[in-house]
Amino acid sequence: MRRLRRNIRLGTVTDTTDHKRERLMRMLRLALGQGKMGARPIAGVLHLFVYIGFVVINLEMLEIVIDGIFSTHRIFSFLGAFYNILIATFEILALWVIIGVTVFYIRRNLLSISRFHKRELLGAPRRDANRILCAEMVMMLLFLGMNACDSLLQLRGITPYVKAGAFPVSQWVAMLFSSLSTPTLIVMERSAWWLHIIGVFAFLNYLYYSKHLHILLAFPYTYYAPIKPKGALDNLSTVTKEVQLMLGTIEETSQEEEATPTFGASDVFHLSRVQLLSAYACTECGRCTDECPANQTGKLLSPRKIVMDTRRRVQQVGENIETNKGTFVPDGKQLLGDYITPEELWACTTCAACVEACPMEISPLSILVDLRRYIVMEQSAAPASLNKMMTQMENTSSPWGYNPTEREKVWKE
Q: Kindly state whether residues 374 and 406 are assigned to the same domain.
A: no
Q: Kindly state whether residues 51 and 162 are assigned to the same domain.
A: yes
Output the pLDDT for position 238: 76
Output the pLDDT for position 56: 83
Tell me the pLDDT of the chain (413 aa) as tens digits. Answer: 899 999 999 999 988 999 999 999 999 999 999 889 888 888 888 888 888 887 888 778 888 889 899 988 988 989 889 999 999 999 999 999 999 999 999 999 999 888 999 999 999 999 999 999 999 999 999 999 999 999 999 999 898 888 888 999 999 999 999 999 999 999 999 999 999 999 988 998 998 889 989 989 999 999 999 998 887 888 877 788 878 888 888 877 665 455 667 788 999 999 999 999 999 999 999 999 999 999 999 999 999 999 999 999 999 999 999 999 999 999 999 999 999 999 999 999 999 999 999 999 999 999 999 999 999 988 888 888 888 888 888 888 888 887 777 777 766 66
Q: What angle do CA 376, 315, 275 make, to 5 degrees?
A: 50
> Domains in the chain: how many in total?
3
Residue 292 within any structural domain of the chain: yes
Let me know: does 65 contact 197? Beta carbons within 8 Å.
yes
Q: Kindly state whether residues 334 and 217 are assigned to the same domain.
A: no
Q: Kindly state whether residues 120 and 101 are assigned to the same domain.
A: yes
Q: Kindly state whether residues 268 and 342 are assigned to the same domain.
A: yes
Output the pLDDT for position 134: 93
Three-class SS of residue 12? Answer: strand
Output the pLDDT for position 160: 87
Q: How many residues does the chain have?
A: 413
Burial of residue 206, with CB atoms counted within 10 A of its CB: 0-12 exposed, 13-18 middle, 19 or more buried: middle
Q: Kindly state whether residues 46 and 183 are assigned to the same domain.
A: yes
Residue 231 within any structural domain of the chain: no
Q: Kindly state whether residues 158 and 71 are assigned to the same domain.
A: yes
Q: Could you list the residue range(s) of the whole structural domain that residue 310 is in?
A: 263-380
CB neighbourhood size of 272 (10 A): 21
CA distance 93 to 168: 11
Q: Kindly state whether residues 292 and 406 are assigned to the same domain.
A: no
Output the pLDDT for position 292: 95
Does the pTM exceed 0.75?
yes
Q: How far is CA 370 from CA 43, 263, 366, in A?
A: 32, 8, 6
Residue 25 within any structural domain of the chain: no
Burial of residue 196, with CB atoms counted within 10 A of its CB: 0-12 exposed, 13-18 middle, 19 or more buried: buried
Q: Kindly state whether residues 122 and 180 are assigned to the same domain.
A: yes
Q: Kindly state whether residues 212 and 103 are assigned to the same domain.
A: yes
Let me know: does 63 contact 75? Beta carbons within 8 Å.
yes
Residue 228 within any structural domain of the chain: no
CATH of the domain at 310: 1.10.1060
Q: What angle do CA 319, 323, 327 make, to 5 degrees?
A: 90
Q: Kindly state whether residues 394 and 352 are assigned to the same domain.
A: no
Residue 282 within any structural domain of the chain: yes
Listed residues 221, 255, 277: the one ending a domain: 221
Output the pLDDT for position 358: 94
Q: Kindly state whether residues 321 and 178 are assigned to the same domain.
A: no
